[in-house]
Amino acid sequence: MVSTTRVFKNKKCAGLLLFIFVLLTSSRIWYSVLHESKNPCTACTAPCTLEYINSIEDLEQYTQELDICGSEDSVNLLKRIYKVNVLGSPISIPKPLKNKLNQWLLGDINLISKANRQKVVQIRNRFTKESSHYNPMRAMRPNVQGSNSSEYVRNLIMKAEKSCDFCKPLLLTAEETWGRIRTKTSLSGANVFRLVGPNNAIILADRHNVLELSAEELADMFDCAEQWFKKVNSLNKDLIFPMLVWDFFPKAGASQIHPHFQVWLDKEYSGQFLTHFQAAQLYRIEYGEDYWTDLISLHLNLGLGFKSGETVVFTPLDSHRDREVMVVGDRVDATFIKLFYAAIKLHQAQGNFCLSVGMSWPSLLGSSYPAVARIGYRGDCTVQYSDMSSVDVYAFYSINSNPTHFIHQLKNFTMSAQL
């Protein structure tokens, strides 16, 4: 016989279980209601699309578990290519530090209110395995902002001209045993201090001042580089993958102020160029689709890029540096060079003089792999602090700017400027 107390206890227990069951069920229903109201894809009757993001923080809404619709939809592309985490925990800021913070954040009430509950947008490319972490508030740290970069770089250019080796290239630069490539306003030379073998050229503009380099002169430097690739390939048919790097001013790593590309040709892409090439191959194996087509589609759908002719320019979610843009096209044609030049001119117009560029061409044997150029800002030229630290060298890329801003400005600049 069951005692009254025991029955009562069992009833209490049953009631508690019923309560928990109802709570869980109703939570699930409410979760579904909320979920459906935010996610138009639940019914899977239409392709999922992403809305343009206004800031990198807007990506957080896409980190939630969304229902997956057709394989072509934008949300799926984001999830296919990137893993996005938005993480942060509140901190306590003592009053004396608050006063300093107020100065660093220039009294911006919005930023000050967010300071003790910052979130970091952490983005990992699933195929290259590279990670970029975004916290635009880090740009407001003390000592990372300079004063008058324009005056500084103009003085630097003027002083360097008096003893510039690259202004006297026939006397003060080396050449290959077969000679040089000469184009209308550019000349090739052999890099005395080889970066890479077997051949490593410098492509020199005749013009010393990079701020006065015209679009035609830049196009001529690309022409000179391409003629050098063809010449080297004619001497060694195994070398088929063309690559280029270019730094502006010492802060970005340039040993000479005079505008010059470093170019080389190899049997396979080098370093990070190879990482992307292999990522595209892995993507093809896993999804049977073209990596670059989907990467471009995703960024255009997020409002992080725009198209001109057959060339696309966008700010990659896995940027390596602040205000970075990636120019992608089937070939390095006039439109490609125009967008490349526009990005440099806009940076210079904004006082971003220290830049680094990395670029690869399709294989000389012909390839569906595109021409890709990345242009990133290396921090204020007048500031002694490096834009890079152990974080960027050994861990992940730390990005302190909002990726939406520069690309929007570049779109307007490209449409309005007489380039």
Give the dihedral sign, CA 171/174/177/181. negative
User: With CB under 5 A as the contact rule, which of the stretches 11-19, 138-146, 161-169, 211-219 interacts with Zn ion?
Assistant: 161-169
**251 DSSP 8-state letter:** G
Query: Between residues 166 and 264, which has the closer beta carbon with respect to Zn ion?
Result: 166
Q: Does 261 bind Zn ion (CB under 5 A)?
A: no
Name the one range near Zn ion by CB under 5 A: 33-41, 207-215, 238-246, 316-324: 207-215
- Segment contacting Zn ion by CB under 5 A, of 158-166, 296-304, 310-318, 323-331: 158-166
Q: Does 208 bind Zn ion (CB under 5 A)?
A: yes
Subset of residues 268 to 307 that bind Zn ion, contact rule: CB under 5 A: none
Coil, strand, or helix at residue 277? helix
Residues 227 and 231: their CA atoms lie apart, in Å, by 6
> Going residue by residue from 166 to 205, which x/- string records binding to Zn ion, judged by CB under 5 A?
xx--------------------------------------
Q: Do 304 and 90 form a contact (C-beta atoms < 8 A)?
A: no
The least distance separating Zn ion from the CB of residue 159, rounded to whole angstroms, comes to 11
Q: Six-digit token pair at 356? A: 């680094």
Residue 248 and residue 364: Cα distance in Å, rounded?
Answer: 28
Span from 104-112, 116-124, 160-168, 279-287 in contact with Zn ion (CB under 5 A): 160-168
Say if CB 82 and CB 125 are below 8 A apart.
yes
- Contact stretch for Zn ion (CB under 5 A) within 24-32, 156-164, 238-246, 329-337: 156-164
Q: What is the DSSP letter of 51?
A: P
Tokens representing 309 are: 């002719």
260 binds Zn ion (CB under 5 A): no
CB of 387 to Zn ion, least distance (A): 25
Concatenating the DSSP letter of every residue in 124-139 gives: EETTT--EEEE-GGGG
| Binder of Zn ion out of 133, 258, 276, 378 (CB under 5 A) | 258
Among 328, 310, 334, which residue's Cα sits nearest to residue 371? 328
Binding segment for Zn ion among 170-178, 256-264, 290-298, 378-386 (CB under 5 A)? 256-264
Binding-residue total with Zn ion (CB under 5 A): 5
**Cβ 88 vs Cβ 117: under 8 Å:** yes
CB of 251 to Zn ion, least distance (A): 18
Q: Taking CB under 5 A as the rule, does residue 340 contact Zn ion?
A: no
d(CA 267, CA 363) in angstroms, rounded, equals 10
Element (H, E) at 25: helix 4-38
Residue 166 or 222: which CB sits closer to Zn ion? Answer: 166
Please report whether residue 207 would count as binding Zn ion according to CB under 5 A: no
Measured from the CB atom, the residue of 137 and 167 that comes closer to Zn ion is 167
Helix (H/G/I), strand (E/B), else coil: 370: coil
Q: Which residues bind Zn ion (CB under 5 A)?
A: 164, 166-167, 208, 258
